[in-house]
Amino acid sequence: MLKEPRSIPKYLFSPNKMFKTILNKLYNLFLDIFSPKYCLLCLNWNQNYFCQDCLKKINFEPQINCLICDKRLNFDSTCQQHFQPIKKLISFGIYEENLIKEKIILAKNSGYREVFYDLGKEIGERIKSFNWEGFQLAFTPLTRKKYFLRGFNQAEALAQGIQAVLKLSIFTGIVKIKETKDQAELNFEERKTNLKDAFKLTKKPGEKILLIDDIKTTGTTLMEVAQILKKEGAKEIIALTILR
């Protein structure tokens, strides 16, 4: 159960990391099939990992802001100073203030893909009244190594949850080719070189992109990916994260 990070029982421990990862995946799959879900916030049994009562309590509603200066916007307005490469950011609260924060970190570290998929569906429901005509979904990728070790990409799982509601296609052409450090731990100069040549595209994106990540920390990763999407032909990019 998620109150404690899921990991394989100790007697199955193997020093071989790859073997351990595979066992962990199978174990999680087994639990997903046989254990019913409960709300991560109130711990009551529920169909999804977040119940409607709790989401109401924490005011889980879309907030639209400028990615750079955090100016409040609506879906049709733009910050006149900062509209490139990302037109606006949709998020559902501020990281430091939010109760969901700890659950997201726990789910990410314990390999709970479904937590992000469920949140994606909730997010989809809350943004479906906006005009998404012509948009493609995209998500910030992990390197292949990191993907394999974690077993899933939380941004991709979010995108798949959103897709289940909005019925938009997912653009899968962004790849991460260089392992990077956590942007939040670096200074301004290091941040720039850290992400340099870290991403590339393997196919051409659509003109309108909703770019998804789990949490916006410094925003530089979203900006870097958006720059590349722009260079390859995307004209309008809106970013979406659970928290900012």
Q: Catalog residues that contact Zn ion under the rule CB under 5 A.
A: 39, 41-42, 51, 54, 66, 68-69, 71, 79, 81-82
Q: How far is the CB of 141 from Zn ion (least distance, A)?
A: 26
**Residue 49 or 171: which CB sits closer to Zn ion?**
49
Pairing between β-strand 208-215 and β-strand 135-139 as defined by DSSP bridges: parallel
Q: How far is the CB of 49 from Zn ion (least distance, A)?
A: 9
Residue 42 CB neighbour total at 10 angstroms: 12
**Residue 41 or 155: which CB sits closer to Zn ion?**
41
Q: Do the Cβ atoms of 52 and 62 come closer than 8 Å?
A: no
**Residue 82 or 126: which CB sits closer to Zn ion?**
82
| Coil, helix or strand at residue 224 | helix
Q: In Å, how far from its chain's centre is CA 126?
A: 16
Give 73's contacts (C-beta < 8 A, 6+ positions apart).
Answer: 64, 65, 66, 79, 88
**Residue 11 or 45: which CB sits closer to Zn ion?**
45
Q: How far is the CB of 211 from Zn ion (least distance, A)?
A: 17
Q: How far is the CB of 51 from Zn ion (least distance, A)?
A: 3
Q: Do the Cβ atoms of 89 and 231 come closer than 8 Å?
A: no
**Residue 29 or 42: which CB sits closer to Zn ion?**
42
Of 91, 114, 141, 137, give the one whose Cα is nearest residue 37. Answer: 114
For residue 232 the two structure tokens come to 């390859």
Extract the runs of DSSP E, i.e. beta strands, from the chain. 63-65, 88-91, 135-139, 174-176, 199-201, 208-215, 236-243
Q: How far is the CB of 119 from Zn ion (least distance, A)?
A: 13
**Residue 46 or 163: which CB sits closer to Zn ion?**
46
Q: Do the Cβ atoms of 175 and 200 come closer than 8 Å?
A: yes
Q: How far is the CB of 186 from Zn ion (least distance, A)?
A: 23
